[in-house]
Amino acid sequence: MSLTHKEPIGKREFIAMMAMIQALQSLGFTTLLPALGVMANDLGASGSNQRQWVIGTFLICSGLFSLVPGTISDRLGRKPVLLVCMGLFALINLLCAFVADFSVLLAARALLGCASSALTVLPMAIIRDRYQGEDMAKLQAFVAMLFMAVPTLAPSLGYVIFTTLGWRAVFIVIGVLSMGVSAWYFYRMEETLPLSRRQSHGARELFGNIRLVLTNRRSIGYVIGMALIFGAHFGFINSSQQLIGEHFGAGGAYSVIFGLMAGSMMLASIANSAIVHRFGTRRLGHAAILCYLIVSVCQVYLASRPGETLLQFVLLMSANMCLLITVFINFTAISLQPFGKLAGAAASVQTFFRLVLGAGLGALIGQAYDGSPLPLAYSLVGVATVTILLVLFSEGGRLFAASVAVRTKG
C-alpha cells in the first residue's frame, strides 16, 4: 500500500499512539531510576542526594518550556511541532550516552526536558481536538491506563539494561525507541487541528490567550491543585530509590516494587474509565482528593512511629498513587472544558504549572529526605489540604456538583 494512501487511524490505534508518545517522557526518567547511584558516582557527583537532580532537572526544564509547543501548535498545527520535538528527544537521549561529566549530563538533561515538553502537552491537545467532557475523560483514562504500563515496566527494563550493558545503554534504548514512535506518528496520524480553527495572529495575542487560561476561575484551581499533587509525587520519585532500596532495605528488588506500585495506577485508570459516565468527572475527582488526604494522614501517623514496615509504606503509597491518577484524569477534563480552539494553550499552561511548580516542589521534598519517610508524608498532607481549598475556590465553595456545561473560549 502506498504511503500516501493509508487507512484512517482507528480509535484503538489512536489511544495506543497518544499513550506511547506521553510514555516517552516517563521513560526519560523512570528507566533511569535503578541506575542513578552508579551513574552519579561514575560521573563524579558529590553527595547522596545529588543523584536526584538527574530527574529534577529534566522535569523542571520540561515544565519551563511547556508553554511553547502548545501555543505554537495552535498556530502551525499539532503534527509539525510534535515531530520536531520528538526528533530532538531521540537525538539528545543518544548524546546523553556519551557524556563524561555530571555537570554536562545535567545540561543535556535540561535540553532533553525542553524537548520532552511537547510529548505531554500535545497529546492532551490532540485528544481535546477530537473529544470533550466525559468522552474526553474516558478516552484520557484509556490513554493513562496504557501510559501507566510504562513506569510499571520501565524500572525493571532499566535495571536489566543497566546490569547487563551499563547505564549508558539505557539512553541509547530510549533514543532508538523514540525514533520508532516518531515514525509511527509521522506515517499514521493526520493533523487534528484544521486551518479554520488555527490561531492566525502573533505572539502577543497567543500570550493573551494564556492570560485567559490563567484567569479562568473554573479552571485555575484544578490546574494549580494538580501541580501540587504532582509535586508530592515527584518528591516520592526523586527519593524512591533511597526510601525503598536503602531505608526499607529492598535493595535490588526496588525496581520490581516500584513497578508494582506504578501498576496500581493502571488499575485506577481502568476503574475511572468504567464509572466516569455514571458519576461524572467532578464527583470522581472530588472524592479522590478527599481520600488522598485521608490516606496521607495515615502515612504521617505510621511514619512518625517506630517500626514502620516496607509493606505498610508500599500499600499506603500505592493507594495514593491510585488516587493521584484519578485526580489527574478528572481534573484534566474539568480544567480543559472551558476552552475550544485554545486547547493547545490551555494544555501548555496546565503542563507548565504541573511540571514547573510540581517538579520544583518535588525537588525540595526530595532534598528534604533525611533517611526516613516522614518529610514525604508531611508533604502529602500539605498538598492535599491546599488542593481541596483550591477546588473549593474554582467551584464557588461546593464539592460533588454534577458536571455542568460551560461556554468554551474560541
* pLDDT above 80: residue 69: yes
Of the ranges 5-9, 231-235, 246-250, which one carries the lowest mean pLDDT score? 5-9
* pLDDT above 50: residue 105: yes
**Helix intervals (H) in 189-253:** 203-214, 217-240
d(CA 303, CA 306): 7
- What string of DSSP letters covers 339-401? BSTTHHHHHHHHHHIIIIIHHHHHHHHHHT--SSSHHHHHHHHHHHHHHHHHHHHHTTT--SP
Q: What's the pLDDT score for residue 339? A: 75
- Contact, 303 vs 372, CB < 8 A? yes
**Across residues 333-346, what is the average pLDDT?**
73
Q: What's the pLDDT score for residue 209? A: 65
Q: Any idea which residue has 524500572 for its cell?
A: 155
**Across residues 245-253, what is the average pLDDT?**
85
pLDDT tens digits for range 176-185? 999 999 999 9
d(CA 277, CA 14): 21
Pull the grid cell for residue 190.
493526520
- Contact, 238 vs 410, CB < 8 A? no
pLDDT band for position 116 (50/70/90)? very high
Q: What's the pLDDT score for residue 203? A: 60
Q: What's the pLDDT score for residue 297? A: 97
Question: Which whole-number Å values give the CA distances from 156 to 30, 170, 176, 347, in the listed order?
Answer: 9, 12, 18, 31
Q: What's the pLDDT score for residue 49? A: 76
CB atoms closer than 10 angstroms to residue 103: 11
Nearest CA to 361 out of 382, 332, 335 is that of 382
d(CA 137, CA 272): 9
**Across residues 102-107, what is the average pLDDT?**
93
DSSP state of 31: T
Please provide the average confidence, as pLDDT, over all residues in the chain.
84
Q: What's the pLDDT score for residue 344? A: 62
* Phi, psi of 409, deg, nearest 5: -90, 135
Statement: the pTM of the whole predicted model exceeds 0.75: no
Long-range contacts of 242-251 (CB under 8 A, 24+ apart): 242/48, 242/49, 242/369, 243/313, 243/369, 243/373, 243/376, 244/310, 244/313, 244/314, 247/371, 247/372, 247/373, 248/309, 248/310, 248/313, 249/310, 250/310
Q: What's the pLDDT score for residue 381? A: 96
Q: What's the pLDDT score for residue 286? A: 94
pLDDT tens digits for range 348-389? 677 777 778 888 888 888 888 888 899 999 999 999 999 999
Q: What's the pLDDT score for residue 139? A: 72
Q: Any idea which residue has 552508579 for its cell?
A: 38
> When comparing pLDDT for 38 and 295, which is higher?
295
Per-domain residue ranges of the chain = 9-190, 200-402
- Contact, 255 vs 350, CB < 8 A? no
> When comparing pLDDT for 253 and 98, which is higher?
98
> When comparing pLDDT for 402 and 99, which is higher?
99
d(CA 116, CA 113): 5
Is 9-190's fold the same as 200-402's? yes
pLDDT tens digits for range 9-36? 888 888 888 888 988 988 888 889 888 8
* pLDDT above 50: residue 284: yes
**Across residues 78-94, what is the average pLDDT?**
94
- Contact, 282 vs 392, CB < 8 A? no
Q: What's the pLDDT score for residue 343? A: 64
Question: Which whole-number Å values give the CA distances from 149 to 152, 156, 174, 267, 362, in the listed order?
Answer: 5, 12, 16, 10, 22
What is the SS3 assignment for 97? coil
pLDDT tens digits for range 123-135? 878 887 777 666 6
Amino acid at 64: L
**Across residues 63-88, what is the average pLDDT?**
87
Q: What's the pLDDT score for residue 67? A: 76
Identify the CATH assignment for 200-402 out of 1.20.1250.20, 2.30.30.180, 3.40.50.300, 3.30.70.1350: 1.20.1250.20
Does domain 9-190 sit in CATH 1.20.1250.20? Answer: yes
CB atoms closer than 10 angstroms to residue 191: 14
Nearest CA to 235 out of 369, 397, 83 is that of 369
Question: Which residues partner with 409 through β-bridges?
Answer: 339
What is the SS3 assignment for 409? strand
